[in-house]
Structure 1
Amino acid sequence: MAHPRHLIAPLSRIARPSIALARPEVPRLIPNTFQSIRCAANKTPKTPKRKKKVSSVFRQYDLRNAEQFSLVDAMHYIRAFEVGQNTSSVKYEMHVRFRTLKNGPVVRNRLRLPHAVKTDMKICVIAPPNSKAANEARAAGAILVGEETVFEQIREGKIDFDRCICHTESLQKLNKSGIARILGPRGLMPSSKMGTVVANIGSTVQDMVGASEYRERMAVVRMAVGQLGFTPQQMQANIKAFMDSIKKDVAQLNDRINKEIHEVVLSSTHAPGFTLNGEFKGANSIEPQLLAGPL
């Protein structure tokens, strides 16, 4: 019989490699404390973002090096862009830019130009039916006159007019009708401040048919000041009346409000804008009589 030692030796030779292979290798890990210290040391602190300063005034461009034109030259170039267009449908448009605060009061008014620009303005009049004011409104050219019939059409969404006037006798019914939430966002709600709640309906409608309304938006006032077939003299008269009205509106503002005219631009339906220098005719301008009539 074999001695036990002879049996143990072969078993030991087999067991040692298996035991050695089964032993897991312990990875050399960096201590957590050292890792956290290393990351904290290499991490760059974030600089707080500075808030962008918002300007309280509208941005204006420097006009010292900008090219400016006389009225005759601007009309000359604009008519070149409008070749082939109908002179009665294309309109000259004036843009007046202000230096003003963003949250300041705006300029808004209605003006009857010396030479009326043809418009198809539709006027609605809220007045007692079959009253003297209603008859005057119809004779002056109003397309819709009445009280309850007008309120019902507005509630149904049938708003086929450009201006709305209310007689003083119908103001109480207008306030109770609930149409302010419909006409207000459209800028059609009559108000005493805007001169659309009046006692004399006939003359107001007549003035409004031939008048134009302007309002400042984003520091700019825009309004049509003539048709393409107007002569430079007619345009000069309309522009003067428009600028005088704007200056009067600015003068009526609070003394603490600083609103100044920065730029005056003349454009048309299809032409770009030309900055005016305030002169009627330049040294090299063409004769004004050539800028009238058909193209």
Structure 2
Amino acid sequence: MATPIPCLAQLSRMCLPVGRQSISRTPVRLLAPTIQVRYKSRGANAPPIQSKAAKALKAASSNPQKNKKKDSEKKKKRKPRTTYRQYDMKDAEQFALCDAIRYIRAIEVGRNPTSVKYEMALKLKSLKNGPVIRNRLRLPHPVKTDLRICVICPPDSKHAEAAKAAGATLVGEDEIFEAVKDGRIEFDRCICQTDSLAKMNKAGLGRILGPRGLMPSSKMGTVVKDPALVIKDLVGGAEYKERLGVIRMAVGQLAFTPEQIALNIKTFLDAVKKDMAQLSDRINKELAEVVLSSTNAPGFPLNGEFRDLKSDVQPRDLSTS
């Protein structure tokens, strides 16, 4: 009688060794804070093994308020800056005045010499919340001489006649008030005589002229007894004010010679240094950087020299006929 042929399941059971213990499967939970691994030697009831990363993740998830306190403490420790950021000028490239003028004129080539202005920027070492420098200056070589000056004073007074003779374009009271209220502001500077101050304040011109910087005030020296004397200073004069630690002012036209620009720059620097010296001893302001630019050209830091001896640029070559 033929013996039956065993099936595959029977053959597999016959090949397995008798008495071999089966190892328990290792359950792994993905993206879990703990990884459970069971070994035969530890037993099924042993606690799961945790890695350092899993412990840190568990601690962060278990106490989020404590972590927020730590982050807030770190932010509190960072004190805000009280001064403006400064750059080390030792590694920066600086130029002599004639070299800077040469590059600026090359960039402004083909433009009207009277329309382009040389601009000076003085960067100061100053506190953010400290007092600012603000003043008016008349340069030896005026940059803008076509100012339209308005004088508010009684039209029949001697001050009105003197103001017209000094070069004022508008003189009067009621006519100027009505023109300003109608939006016709045809002047660049405004001066008020002390006798007309109360009438000007009653007219309510502050909300119109104030945002434009044209409102007369005794602090700025535009409310005076004799307007004629102030007009002579205004023609060719300019105001400068410190903003974010920088003072900017136009110091010349493109047609100016290097000597004229140098004289204007020196006058401007002396005036700013004088303003800094008049501040309180507790307030320290220092001149950190001097930059010359123009209407369309970038800024060129100056090293304080008029002409570089190694350069072949001559001041007469930069003069416009």
Q: TM-score, normalised by structure 1?
A: 0.82
Q: Which residue of 1 aligns with 2:266?
A: 240
Per-residue CA deviation, residues 205-260 of structure 1 (Å, 9 max, x unaligned), is 12201111111111111111011111111111111111111111111112211111
Q: Does 1:289 align with 2:316?
A: yes
> For the residues of structure 2 that align with 1:289 and 1:232, how far apart are their CA atoms?
8
What SS does the corresponding residue of 1:117 show, helix, strand or coil? coil
Structure 1 unpaired stretches of 5+: 1-38
Q: Structure 1 residues 64, 132: closer, same or farther in 2, change over 3 A?
A: same
What SS does the corresponding residue of 2:270 show, helix, strand or coil? helix
Q: Which residue of 2 aligns with 1:191?
A: 217
Q: Structure 1 residues 83, 134: closer, same or farther in 2, change over 3 A?
A: same
- More moved, 258-267 vs 178-187: 178-187
| C-alpha displacement of 1:159 | 2.0
| C-alpha displacement of 1:40 | 9.3
Per-residue CA deviation, residues 154-205 of structure 1 (Å, 9 max, x unaligned), is 2222222221111111122222222122222222221112111111211211
Matches within 5 A, 1:1-295: 42-43=61-62, 45=64, 46-47=67-68, 48-49=71-72, 50-51=75-76, 53-285=79-311, 286-293=313-320
| C-alpha displacement of 1:42 | 4.5
Structure 2 unpaired stretches of 5+: 1-57
> For the residues of structure 1 that align with 2:79 and 2:164, how far apart are their CA atoms?
55
| C-alpha displacement of 1:60 | 1.7
> For the residues of structure 1 that align with 2:210 and 2:194, how far apart are their CA atoms?
18
> For the residues of structure 2 that align with 1:155 and 1:248, how far apart are their CA atoms?
39
State the identity as a percent.
61
Per-residue CA deviation, residues 55-100 of structure 1 (Å, 9 max, x unaligned), is 1111122212001111111111111111111112111110011111
> For the residues of structure 2 that align with 1:41 and 1:214, how far apart are their CA atoms?
56
> For the residues of structure 2 that align with 1:153 and 1:125, how far apart are their CA atoms?
13
Aligned residues between the structures: 256
Q: Structure 1 residues 184, 118: closer, same or farther in 2, change over 3 A?
A: closer
CA RMSD of the aligned region, Å? 1.8
Which 4+ residue blocks in structure 1 deviate beyond 4 angstroms?
39-42
Q: Structure 1 residues 281, 172: closer, same or farther in 2, change over 3 A?
A: same
Q: Structure 1 residues 44, 253: closer, same or farther in 2, change over 3 A?
A: same
| C-alpha displacement of 1:118 | 3.1
> For the residues of structure 1 that align with 2:198 and 2:186, how far apart are their CA atoms?
23
- More moved, 276-285 vs 182-191: 182-191
> For the residues of structure 1 that align with 2:286 and 2:192, how far apart are their CA atoms?
34
Per-residue CA deviation, residues 121-150 of structure 1 (Å, 9 max, x unaligned), is 221111111211112222222222111221
| C-alpha displacement of 1:102 | 1.1
Code of the residue aligned with 1:150 in structure 2: it is I
> For the residues of structure 1 that align with 2:240 and 2:60, how far apart are their CA atoms?
64
